[in-house]
Amino acid sequence: MSRVLIIESSARQQDSVSRQLTREFVEQWQASHPDDQITLRDLAVNPVPHLDADLLGGWMKPEAQRSTAEAQALERSNLLTDELLAADVLVLAAPMYNFTIPSTLKAWLDHVLRAGITFKYTPTGPQGLLTGKRAIVLTARGGIHAGAVSDHQEPYLRQAMAFIGIHEVDFIHAEGLNMSGDFHDQGIAHAKARIAAVA
C-alpha cells in the first residue's frame, strides 16, 4: 500500500480543468492501485499562511525561546511537512497563473522546502532528504508553453522537487485551453491519455 498526497491549487472549483485532471488521475490510480490511500489537500479551500516572522521564528528559535504565536506557526507548518514525509507519491495540480504556479501553491512549497526536514546543507551544497518518492504534476494552461521560455512552472517545480530529493517527476500539461478551435478539447484529451499512461 502506498500513500498518495494530492495538492489542488486552482482558485476555482467549477469548470477547473486541473481539478478535472485530478479526478481523472484518482480514477485511473484507484483502478490500478486499489489499496493505496489518497489524501487531498485543497489550497483554495484551506490556504496555508504565507511565510511571516512568526513562522520563521518558530523554525529558527530553540523551543524555550519561541513565543506562543511562533510555536503555533511551527505546529501548523509541521503538519504540512509530516503529510509530505508520509507520502510515497505527490501529485501537484496547478493552473498556470501569469506564467507560473498559483501563489497558494508557492506558499505550500515555502512550508515544505524546509531545512533539516526535507533538505539539508552539506559541505558540498544542499542535499534533498526525501528518498523513494515520485511526483506527478498536472497543469492547466490557457495558452501553449511547454518547452518555451514562458513556462515558469515546469522548470521551477523540477528544481523545487529535485532540491528536496524528488527526482522522478512526470509533468502532464493540458494546454491551449483558452485558444479557439479544437485546442481546448485536444489539450484535455492529450492530458488524459498521458494520465492513463502514468497512473
Ligand X SMILES: Cc1cc2nc3c(=O)[nH]c(=O)nc-3n(C[C@H](O)[C@H](O)[C@H](O)COP(=O)(O)O)c2cc1C
C-alpha 57/C-alpha 48 separation (Å) is 17
Minimum CB distance to ligand X smaller for 34 or for 181: 181
Contact pick of 32, 98, 159, 180 for ligand X (by CB under 6 A): 98
Query: Could you tell me the smallest distance in angstroms from the CB atom of residue 133 to ligand X?
Result: 24
Which one of 47, 126, 143, 165 is in contact with ligand X (CB under 6 A)? 143
Interaction pattern, residues 42-81, with ligand X; x per rule: CB under 6 A: ----------------------------------------
Q: Which one among 5, 89, 96, 188 touches ligand X, defined by CB under 6 A?
A: 96
CA distances, 17 to each of 4, 80, 137 (Å): 20, 25, 13
Give me the residue label for grid cell 511526483. Answer: 135
Using DSSP, state whether 67 is helix, strand or coil: coil
Strand, coil or helix: 178:
coil
DSSP assignment letter at 148:
S
Q: List Cα–Cα distances, 167 to 123, 130, 132, in angstroms.
A: 21, 10, 9
Q: How far is the CB of 109 from ligand X (least distance, A)?
A: 18
The H or E element containing residue 54 is helix 53-60
How many residues of this chain interact with ligand X, rule: CB under 6 A?
18
Q: Helix, strand, or coil here: 34?
A: coil
Minimum distance from CB of 98 to ligand X (Å)?
5
Residues engaged in binding ligand X (CB under 6 A):
10, 12, 16-19, 95-99, 140-143, 145, 177-178
> Which residues does the annotation place in the binding site for FMN?
10, 16-18, 96-99
